[in-house]
Amino acid sequence: MASSNPAMNVSVYERAGYVDVSSSAMTLGGTVIKTGILLIILLVAAGITWTLVEQGSAEAAYAAMIAGAIGGLIMAMITIFIPRCAPVTSPIYSALEGLFLGGVSAVIEMRFPGIALQALGLTAGVLAIMLTVYGTGIIRVTQKFVIGVVAATGAIFLVYVVSAVASLFGGNLPYIHDAGPIGIIFSLVVVVVAALNLILDFDFIERGVRSQAPKYMEWYGGFSLLVTLVWMYMEILRLLSKIRGSRG
Condensed to tens digits (0 to 9), the pLDDT of residues 177-214 reads 777 888 899 999 999 999 999 999 999 999 999 988 99
Which pLDDT band holds residue 164 (cuts at 50, 70, 90)? Answer: confident
Q: Is 60 exposed, middle or buried (0-12, 13-18, 19+ CB in 10 A)?
A: middle
Q: What is the tens place of the pLDDT at every residue in 116-127?
A: 999 999 999 999
Helices and strands (H, E) in the chain, number of each type = 8, 0
Q: Which long-range contacts (CB under 8 A, 24 or more apart) does 140-149 make?
A: 141/1, 141/199, 141/200, 141/203, 143/1, 145/199, 146/1, 146/2, 146/3, 146/200, 149/4, 149/193, 149/196, 149/197, 149/199, 149/200
- Cβ distance 162 to 176 under 8 Å? no
Is residue 25 scored above 90 in pLDDT? no
| Nearest-angstrom CA–CA distance, 248 and 234 | 21
Is residue 51 scored above 80 in pLDDT? yes
Residues of the chain with pLDDT > 70: what percent?
Answer: 89
